[in-house]
Amino acid sequence: MKLRLDESELVACVGCGLCLPHCPTYRVTGDELTSPRGRIAAMLAVSENRATVDATFHQSMDTCIQCRACEAACPSGVQFGHLMEDTRRAQAPERPWPRRVIETIAYRGVLPRRRVLAGLTRLTAVAQRARLVPKRFGLPLLPLRSPAPLVSDPAPDAFLFTGCVMDAWQRDTHRAALRVMRATGARVGLPDPGADCCGALHIHAGRHDDAVRLATRVMRAFPGTAPIVVDSAGCGAALLDYGRLLGTPEAVAFSERVVDFSSFVRDRGVTTRPGGPTVVVQDPCHLRHVQKTHLAVGEILGAAYDVRVTADDGLCCGAGGAFSVFEPDLSNAVRDRKVAALRSAAGTDQFIVASANPGCAMHLAAAGLDVRHPAELLEDRLGPD
Ligand code: SF4
Ligand code: SF4
């Protein structure tokens, strides 16, 4: 296996260790191999042919949640996210064949195919009602019927990105986002066919070529120059990185149109009724560490709810795309800390968690929390007193 990493990025790490307390996996294990510094050292050793790729190397890389908290904390500006994405790209062809087959079906045959995903969603919904889906999978109760389609405004001045799993499983969140965006005075359009999946999960899994294909399709589905509003933190981070992924001026221009839902609403303004219950904001890593727009969530909810924030510097919840599937024990141990931080911030048993990322929302809901998207919370309290 050949790692093709940007050497200037690798050697930028001076080994200071300031990132360690921010790393959710190091916090759980206390093991250098599951820290950002240890992972970078392992990448460097392999890149310089001082070490071979073995089970320990794979373990060190696979236990990374790709939360990028280390990147935000690093005084040397090490671009850890890109290093890990490129490492996963090298690892992908080395996976055992059963995993490669399953991933190919999931990433090529299901996620970017709207009809297949809808059919599988219905099958899973039936299986859930027959109690055939183990609770430990952490899936929400899926709808038996396809939810009603979303409706586009004529002559839109903004788009809503709808994506794959979120559109199939949580379309009502998109519906709430549309309603709130319209309450700001926006005319909201939906993408043309082709924007079925942003490729974020593909990039996490090292499936670079698939991600490039999907990104190219997504870009074609948003003609014009209107802003593209994204109500999923992970998808937003992926769309914002299309400039780097594709390396073209068109992709850079496309990424400049991408804006997170909460920032869009905050900047345009919306009227809500005060007096809502206690809401604790969970900062999805891709909103806080990558997009750096997490404060907008508390700002838009603040007029309507008793908003609280956690005192854990936005520590990851452990969801991490498919991380909770492949590393369930570590994922749950990371989540336990997050749940404790959320409960402590609430100061009461009666509280709602606001999460702007569908993966985080599902992972936290599986731990018994009442989790809702900021768009749904705002929709509930739209309008004057
Ligand atoms: S990644 Fe950054 S913060 Fe972490 S050890 Fe290296 S230089 Fe220090
Ligand atoms: S991306 Fe997150 S889990 Fe991975 S090394 Fe950095 S802080 Fe740790």
| pLDDT tens column, 173-206 | 999 999 999 999 999 999 998 898 999 999 999 9
User: 80-91 and 36-47 are packed helices; what angle lies between their axes, rounded to 10 degrees?
Assistant: 50
Ligand with the closest atom to the CA of 73:
1
Closest CA to 150 of 122, 170, 165: 170
Alpha carbon of 71 to ligand 2 centroid (Å): 8
Mean pLDDT of the chain: 93
Q: Out of 128-132, 139-143, 208-212, give the one with best mean pLDDT.
A: 208-212
| Ligand that comes closest to the CA of residue 35 | 2
Who contacts 38 (Cβ-Cβ below 8 Å, separation ≥6)? Answer: 31, 32, 60
| Structure tokens given for 220 | 């074609």
How many residues belong to the chain? 385
Q: To 10 degrees, the CA torsion angle through 15, 19, 20, 22?
A: 180
- How remote is the CA of residue 38 from the centroid of ligand 1, in Å? 10
Residue 136 clears pLDDT 80, i.e. is over it: no
- Residue 11 beta carbon below 6 angstroms from any ligand 1 atom: no
Q: Please name the residue whose Cα sits nearest to atom 4 of ligand 2.
A: 64
Q: What are phi and psi of 382, to 5 degrees?
A: -70, 150
CA 293 and chain centroid, separation: 13
Paired strand residues for 189: 159
- Indicate whether residue 19 lines ligand 1 (CB < 6 A): yes
Give tens-digit pLDDT for 250-293.
999 999 999 999 999 999 999 999 999 999 999 999 999 999 99
Q: From the alpha carbon of 68, which atom of ligand 2 is closest?
A: 1
CB 342 within 8 Å of CB 361: no
Measured in Å, residue 73 CA sits from the centre of ligand 2 at 11
Report the pLDDT value the prediction gives residue 121, as an integer from 0 to 100: 92
Using the mean position of ligand 1's atoms as its centre, give its distance from the Cα of residue 270 in Å: 41
Establish whether residue 65 lines the binding site of ligand 2, counting it when its CB lies within 6 angstroms of any ligand atom. Answer: yes
Q: Is the Cβ atom of 60 under 6 angstroms away from ligand 2?
A: no
Ligand 1 contact via 74 beta carbon (within 6 Å)? yes
Gap from CA of 338 to ligand 1 centroid (Å): 23
Is the pTM higher than 0.95? The answer reads: no
* Cβ of 39 below 6 Å from ligand 2: yes
Torsional sign, CA 224, 226, 229, 235? positive
Ligand 2 atom nearest the C-alpha of 73 is 7
Closest C-alpha to ligand 1, atom 6: 13
Within 10 angstroms of residue 98's Cβ, the number of other Cβ atoms is 8
Name the pLDDT band for 151 (thresholds 50, 70, 90): very high
Taking the CA of residue 66 as reference, the ligand 2 atom at the shortest distance is 1
Q: Whose CA is nearest to atom 1 of ligand 1?
A: 13
Query: How far away, in angstroms, is 64 Cα from ligand 2 center?
Result: 5
Ligand 2 neighbour 319 (Cβ under 6 A): no
- Ligand that lies nearest to the alpha carbon of residue 77, given by its number in the listed order: 1
Is residue 220 over pLDDT 90?
yes
- How does DSSP classify residue 206? T
- Greatest extent of the chain over all pairs of C-alpha atoms, in Å: 67
Local structure of residue 382 (DSSP, 8 states):
B
Average pLDDT over residues 8-17: 91
**What does each C-alpha distance from 114 to 80, 120, 127, 246 come to in angstroms?**
32, 10, 20, 24
- pLDDT band, residue 385 (cuts 50/70/90): low
> Hey, whose CA ends up nearest to atom 8 of ligand 1?
16
Look up residue 24 and give its two tokens.
Answer: 């959710």
What are the strands, taking DSSP E only, across the chain?
Answer: 158-161, 188-189, 228-230, 258-260, 278-282, 306-309, 352-355, 371-372
| Cβ(18) – ligand 1 distance below 6 Å | yes
pLDDT one-digit tens code per residue, 338-380: 999 999 999 999 999 999 999 999 999 999 999 999 999 999 9
pLDDT at site 10: 86
